[in-house]
């Protein structure tokens, strides 16, 4: 489904509230047991006496799935940095057998590699060793089998629904660290703390001076900034020719442009803004790409998720970043002061978000448990058929919690909503028969967050459904016969189903409707702490995946039977 969003005002957090949740079975539906009559039509009427009850079937002998043990390797952090994670090698240092795997495929969307072992294929000794924990060496490789990362994991247990082994890619360069701006779009520069709190911005309002020059860019408190009407923290950012990653920061004054620069005078190291008076003196706009004007040139670099530094290109200060000075009232390159972290947003873009699909990874299943809601043998040793009421009205609840670990946001200027569907399936075996059960989430998202709200991890939603495991009904037992009646149910407990959703995102400049290119879109996503994976950067779009997990407390299936057995009435 494709949804267009125009004149959007807020920080979009794609996974938030107002979710509508539905969980449905992709296999057979549970059917209430019908009234059952097993008898001899040639035996008329009811006999004298009463039905005797005895033990039912042995539930331990009912066929069931004994489950799996395994590991899951999560290469998502490496993929987030722009690498093609294709294969995983898992060296298992076990003494009871060779369980190592080479070139396990890593799913291109969920970024998971799975090593699974059927418990039925293991000896008791092997199962005990793997459950107790073994040392591992995990290697992640790209499509050409080149090694991307090797990590050691000590005493790691093979389990069902295991905790994922995270390959963090700490030593790898971030290939998605793109910083690209449109020179004709205004961007708001915000000051952000390490915990993601926006607390201020660089105030450029002194450029209006007609009498003075060398005016400071001061710190403006976030509570004093009205993003609907206030442009004092908005700048036009343009890359310096032949210096990738280096930019000028300017404000527009009609047809003219005035620039931020680092002073070389008595206030050396202080961030200043040109004034109207400067332009009168100069006679024209300054050219910040002039090789002699390195104090007008600033390098913007990523310091962490949604956190960037702005550093000077002025050789005197060795590309040092801007810091707070003057009792935190101004910006300067000074020693013994805290570095200022920034994020840069635009409120002049209309966004188009299209949901593409959901992908999921089959979970490593635990053993299925067999239980009886009703289980008895009815014996009729009388001269005629007898009727017995059996069973009881009983239901069990299956609860699924769906949560997203990734999220993305874009800066907008109005509220909007999008609808998206998450679906995942679990393939299991109940009573010896294969079955597929599905979980589906339809989310309607409406957002109204302020421009100063940074991105947070999205929440989740809990949903429950009831499964009937037994109903009350009448069983007719013929004379000198016995009927074995049972309402059985099998369950898988505590299942984790990893999934990702794919989205395609486009953005248009509101002023003229022109499209942003893929790198310009990605830049805004990075500044807004995007935590998912970019799978494609197109000419005028990006495609991304966001990760989540469905946790199911128990999957339930039922079996109802009423079978003739030997009555052993004697005589």
Helix and strand numbers, DSSP H then E, in the chain: 4, 35
- Cα 334 to Cα 347: distance, rounded to the nearest angstrom: 32
- pLDDT winner (highest mean) among 50-59, 116-125, 195-204, 475-484: 116-125
* Count of CA atoms in the C-beta half-sphere (13 A) of 90: 29
Rg (CA), the chain: 33
pLDDT tens per residue across span 29-49: 433 343 333 333 333 344 567
Of 454, 370, 290, nearest in space to 56 by CA: 370
Q: Which residues partner with 248 through β-bridges? A: 238
Q: Which residue has the higher pLDDT, 87 or 443?
A: 87
Q: What does the DSSP 8-state code read for residue 458?
A: -
What strand order describes the sheet that includes 165-166? 112-118, 68-74, 165-166
> CA 465: distance to chain centroid?
24
- Cα 165 to Cα 374: distance, rounded to the nearest angstrom: 42
- Cα 545 to Cα 526: distance, rounded to the nearest angstrom: 14
Neighbours of 493 (CB within 10 A): 16
Neighbours of 122 (CB within 10 A): 21
- Looking at the predicted structure, is the pLDDT value of residue 456 above 60? no
- Cα 314 to Cα 261: distance, rounded to the nearest angstrom: 10
pLDDT band at 11 (very low <50, low <70, confident <90, very high): very low
Q: Provide the 3-class DSSP secondary structure of residue 49.
A: coil
186-345: in CATH 2.80.10.50: yes
What pLDDT is recorded for position 158? 98
Of 390, 564, 472, nearest in space to 40 by CA: 564
Identify the sign of the CA torsion 175, 239, 207, 228. Answer: negative
Residues in the chain: 571
pLDDT tens per residue across span 410-436: 777 665 566 667 777 889 899 999 888
- Looking at the predicted structure, is the pLDDT value of residue 353 above 70? yes
Residue 144 near residue 478, CB atoms below 8 Å: no
- Considering the domain 68-159, what is its CATH architecture? Sandwich (2.60)
Q: Provide the 3-class DSSP secondary structure of residue 302.
A: strand
* Count of CA atoms in the C-beta half-sphere (13 A) of 508: 12
What pLDDT is recorded for position 438? 80
What pLDDT is recorded for position 407? 76
Token pair 């309607």: residue: 444
Tell me what the pLDDT averaged over the chain comes to.
85
Q: What does the DSSP 8-state code read for residue 24?
A: -
What pLDDT is recorded for position 22? 37
Residue 365 near residue 70, CB atoms below 8 Å: no
Q: Find the range with the poorest average confidence among 78-92, 149-163, 319-333.
A: 319-333
Q: Find the range with the poorest average confidence among 20-29, 217-226, 259-268, 416-425.
A: 20-29
What pLDDT is recorded for position 569? 86
- Cα 386 to Cα 51: distance, rounded to the nearest angstrom: 7
Q: Which residue has the higher pLDDT, 332 or 30?
A: 332
- Cα 521 to Cα 519: distance, rounded to the nearest angstrom: 5
Q: What is the pTM of this model?
A: 0.81
What pLDDT is recorded for position 335? 74
């Amino acid at each position: 489904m494709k949804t267009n969003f125009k004149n959007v005002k807020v920080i979009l957090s794609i996974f938030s509230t107002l979710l509508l949740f539905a969980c449905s079975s992709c296999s057979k539906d549970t059917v209430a047991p019908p009234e059952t009559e097993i008898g001899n039509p040639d035996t008329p009427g009811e006999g004298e006496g009463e039905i005797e009850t005895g033990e039912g079937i042995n539930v331990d002998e009912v066929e069931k799935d004994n489950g799996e043990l395994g590991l899951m390797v999560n290469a998502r952090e490496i993929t987030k940095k722009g690498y093609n994670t294709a294969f995983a090698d898992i060296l298992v240092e076990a003494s009871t057998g060779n369980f190592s795997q080479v070139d396990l495929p890593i799913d291109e969307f969920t970024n998971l590699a799975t090593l699974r072992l059927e418990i039925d294929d293991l000896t008791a000794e092997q199962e005990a060793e793997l459950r107790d924990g073994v040392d591992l060496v995990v290697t992640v490789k790209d499509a050409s089998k080149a090694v991307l990362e090797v990590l050691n994991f000590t005493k790691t247990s093979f389990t069902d629904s295991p905790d994922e082994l995270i390959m963090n890619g700490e030593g790898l360069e971030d290939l998605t660290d793109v910083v690209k701006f449109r020179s004709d779009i205004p961007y708001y520069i915000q000051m952000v703390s390490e915990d993601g709190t926006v607390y201020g911005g660089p105030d450029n309002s002194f450029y209006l001076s007609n009498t003075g020059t060398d005016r400071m860019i001061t710190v403006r408190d976030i509570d004093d900034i009205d993003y609907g009407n206030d442009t004092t923290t908005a700048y036009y950012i343009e890359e310096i020719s032949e210096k990738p990653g280096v930019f000028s920061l300017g404000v527009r004054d009609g047809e003219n442009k005035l620039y931020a620069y680092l002073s070389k005078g008595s206030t050396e190291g202080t961030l200043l803004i040109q004034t109207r008076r400067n332009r009168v003196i100069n006679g024209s706009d300054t050219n910040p790409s002039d090789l002699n004007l390195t104090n007008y040139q600033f390098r913007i670099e990523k310091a962490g998720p949604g956190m960037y530094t702005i550093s000077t290109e002025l050789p005197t200060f060795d590309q040092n970043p801007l810091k707070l000075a003057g009792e935190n009232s101004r910006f300067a390159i000074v020693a013994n002061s805290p570095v200022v972290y920034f994020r840069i947003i635009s409120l002049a873009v209309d966004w188009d978000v299209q949901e593409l699909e959901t992908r999921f990874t089959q979970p490593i299943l635990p053993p299925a448990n067999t239980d009886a809601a009703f289980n008895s043998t009815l014996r009729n040793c009388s001269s005629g058929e007898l009727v017995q009421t059996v069973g009881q009205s009983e239901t069990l609840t299956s609860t699924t919690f769906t949560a997203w670990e990734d999220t993305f946001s874009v800066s907008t200027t109005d509220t909007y909503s999008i609808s998206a569907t998450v679906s995942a399936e679990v393939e299991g075996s109940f009573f010896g028969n294969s079955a597929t059960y599905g979980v589906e989430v339809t989310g309607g998202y409406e957002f109204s967050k302020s421009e100063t709200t940074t991105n947070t991890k999205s929440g989740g939603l809990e949903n429950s459904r009831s499964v009937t495991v037994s109903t009350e009904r009448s069983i007719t037992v013929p004379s000198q016969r016995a009927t074995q009646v049972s309402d059985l149910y099998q369950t898988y407990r505590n299942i984790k189903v990893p999934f990702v959703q794919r989205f395609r995102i486009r953005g248009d400049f509101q002023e003229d409707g022109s499209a942003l290119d893929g790198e310009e879109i990605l830049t805004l996503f990075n500044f807004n702490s995007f935590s998912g994976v970019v799978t494609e950067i197109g000419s005028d779009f990006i495609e991304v995946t966001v990760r989540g997990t469905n946790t199911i407390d128990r999957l339930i299936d039922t079996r109802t039977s009423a079978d003739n057995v030997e009555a052993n009435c004697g005589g």
